[in-house]
Structures are given as C-alpha cells and as structure tokens.
Amino acid sequence: MIDVRELAARLQLHAVATRIAEHEEAWEMAQGLFEPAPGFLTPPLGPSPESREAWARALRRVRAYGPRVVSTLVNAAVGDVNWGGQSKRLDEAIGEQGLIRLVRNLARDYYVAGVAAGYAYQPETGPPRIGRLTGYIEPYTHPMDADVVTGLYQAKTVTTRRGIRYWVRVWDIEDGQVREWRELQTPTDLGYPPDRVLEGLTPRFAFYDLTPEGLPWSPFFWAVPMLRDLMASELFLARVEEYAAYPVPRFGPETEVQQIAPGLPVQGEFEWSAPGSLAELREQRAVKLERLRDAMALPGGFLGNDSPSGEALKEANRRFYQEAKSTARVLSELLTDLVADLAALVGAEPVEVVVLPNRDYIRDQVIQGVLVLYEKGVIPLAVAAREVQPYLPTWSDEELNRWLEANKDVVTPDVLARVLGGGNA
C-alpha cells in the first residue's frame, strides 16, 4: 500500500499546488478561456468604458490559438477507431460508450495535461462504462525502478461555500484501492482518514513524457510561455490597431473646437496626424506564430502565418504526421487495455482496439509519391493502385481488382490518378 505520509512529502517537494495552478492555466488556454488580468501582459487599461470594451474585443481575437492548436493535433491523431471480436454484448457496451468521443477526449488530455487515463467500472444503474480521469495527475513510482508506476495522485480544484478546496484521489495500483478526500484546504493535507475508499478499480494510463523528477510533461504545457508571449503581442497589436485606424486631429492652443462642423472653416491651428506604421509589430507577431508552429510540429501555415516553402514545408508536414501516428499508437494500446477491462465486466473476450490517424493530412503527398514511382517504373500498376486507393476510396476493392485486370496493359499514371479520384479514363 502507498505510504500516504511519504506521498504527501513528495508532493510538497514537487510544489504540487503550483503545478495544479499551472495545469489549470494550460487548460484555460487550450479551451480558449484564459483571461489575463488587465496590465498582466500589456500596459494597464485606461479608466474609460471605451478602453474596457476595446480590451474585451482584443481578448476575443486572441483566445482562439489554444483551441486551434489542440483541435488540429487531436484531429490528426484520431481519424477512426476499429476493434475486432464477435461479442454482441461487448459491441453494444462499446457502442453505448461512444468510443470516438472518448478517444478524442483522451487525445486532448494527452496533449494538454501530458497524461491520458481512464478505468472501467460498473455504475449503480446501466451497463458497464469506461470512465475518464481528469484533473492534475501525477505518477507514484516504485522506489527501486522509476519506470514502474505503482499509483496515481489525482487532484482537482473545487469551489465550495467555504472557498477554494481540493478534491484528491490516490489510486493504489498494487492493492487495487482508491482513497478519496474531499474539500481539502491544501492538496497535500492527507493526514486524515479518507472520506471514501473504493475497491477493485484499475486505472489505465499513458503519459506523454515525464520530467527527471517524475512529473507529467506535455507539448502544450511546454508551449504555454510561447502562447503567453504571442498573446501579449496580439493584445498590444489589437489595441494599437484601434487607435491607429484613422488619422487623429491635432489642435493648436487658439483653435475654437466648438466651431468645427462639416462645411465650416476651422478657426485656429488644426491638422490631421497620420498613424504610424504597424509593420514591425506585425512582423514580430509573425515570427512568434512561426516559432509556435515549429515548436508544436504543426503543419505549415496552420496558424495563419506564411507557410514555409519547399523542403521546409515537407519537413513540417512530415513531423506533424509522425506525431499523429505516434499518438494513435499510444491511444490504441490504452484503449485496448480499457476495452479489455470493459469486456471482463460484460463477460466477453478482450479485443484489440486500433486508433487510425487521419490520413487526409498526407493524402496529396502519398498520391504524388506513388505516381512518381509508378511513372519511373519502380513499382507495378497493381501496387500503385492499391497503395493509393485508401486515400481515394471511390471504388470498392472488388471494383478496383476488375479494373486492374481489364486495364493492366494500357493504364498511364495520369489515367490511374483520374480513375481512382472518381473520373473516367
């Protein structure tokens, strides 16, 4: 059994309260809910209502980056989900679960929090389900082997009538026991008996990576300072753009302002002051966008910045799809374990679950590469057609086989591309 006093000491050493706050900030950015206090990222606002309204407009403009990053990563990693087996009971349980939605949520947790975790359980009413673990999750490792996780620490911040409190669970994997504390004043205040103990629950999890101290790490968490930096530039630019949208009138000391009206001459000193150039601010913003795109291995031009060209673009897209395939493999292993636990609850045999990455992102590259190889005589027609067909699923396998047999001596690469794309040769 996990020694709770030792665990609490480790959590205090890791400054877990600070880690929880940083984790919540990352989620706010990922969901487009982060709202910096006025003056935190930019100079403080003026007292006028117009300044407050301008600040609100600027915030709406810059909040979208986090959700765009996360949704793009998730959409690439989760294209489809397949599983085998012949059990009707298991198929019904998986169908009621909504596996695609579960996998997408797990992928989002994986990229933002650095850990995707869940467990199979039997609710009080209804069929068995797979639950998803949320909040801040930290592994408890074996003292003799840092790669062996023997437990999980899970914490959430909750708002109660008494103020901010913490809801904590300690998952002891070796004993199959979950201890739960509610409304703790500090997330390490585990010296009291738990409010509830649950038996027979086995968490399944996958960490994106761990720091040398054993703390969860994610690409989004690492990019949070870059997102803050980009948000500062965006907020500053948005505010300056409003002020620089129109020329500003300048009056001398003798000007009779009350006499200014359409068609009337201005009495006194008056001129229009043209706004300065914002090119440098926009260039700075573009540099930060490209830095974020490259750090997150996102496809070229994804954030609205100029897309890299040539080999740089190919490399960016290659890294992006490699990340998607790697995440799909991790999620496949995690879902296979979770569905095996679900199968045990419904009395069925376990099955393998396969998460397929979204192939739309590499469709054009694959087709172009295959057609070049066919044109140069490196691969035969049948190999080229079957390699390309999954990306252009306009024909069934049987129709493709009949077409290959009838046209194997006369097909050119051009005709092959047209036919697989739905055209007529």
Give residue 404's domain range: 360-425
Burial grade of 277 (CB within 10 A; 0-12, 13-18, 19 or more): exposed
Phi, psi of 199 (to 5 degrees): -115, 150
Residue 405 lies in a domain: yes
Residue 70 lies in a domain: no
For the segment 316-321, the average pLDDT, to the nearest whole number, is: 81
Under the banding of pLDDT at 50, 70 and 90, the label for residue 184 is very high
Are the beta carbons of 176 and 202 closer than 8 angstroms? Answer: yes
Average pLDDT value for the chain: 83
**Cα–Cα distance, 351 to 85 (Å, whole number):** 6
Tokens of 417: 């591309």
The answer to whether residue 408 is domain-embedded is yes
CA dist 266 and 254 (Å) reads 11
Q: Is 349 helix (H, G, I), strand (E, B) or coil?
A: coil
Q: What is the pLDDT of residues 153-179, one digit of tens each?
A: 999 999 888 889 999 999 999 888 999
Q: Structurally, how many domains does the chain consist of?
A: 1
Give residue 126's pLDDT.
Answer: 84
Mean pLDDT of 373-382: 76
Separation CA 329–CA 326 (nearest Å):
5
Least confident of 24-38, 66-80, 112-126, 302-316: 302-316
Beta strands in 122-251 (DSSP E): 129-132, 136-142, 145-160, 163-172, 177-184, 196-199, 204-207, 209-210, 216-217, 248-251
* Model pLDDT, residue 374: 76
Residue % of the chain over a pLDDT of 70: 83
The partner residues of 121 in beta bridges, in order of sequence, read 129
Q: What backbone torsions phi and psi does residue 208 show, to the nearest 5 degrees? A: -65, -45
- CA 420 from centre of chain: 33
Say what the pLDDT of residue 333 is: 96
Does 418 map to a domain? yes
CB distance 402 to 385 below 8 Å = no
Q: Is 412 helix (H, G, I), strand (E, B) or coil?
A: coil
Indicate whether 423 belongs to any domain. Answer: yes
pLDDT value, residue 104: 95
Strands (E), 173-224: 177-184, 196-199, 204-207, 209-210, 216-217
Q: How many CB atoms lie within 10 A of CB 284?
A: 15
Region 132-146: what's the mean pLDDT? 88
Residue 133 belongs to a domain: no
| 425 pLDDT tier (thresholds 50, 70, 90) | very low
**Residue 319 included in any domain:** no
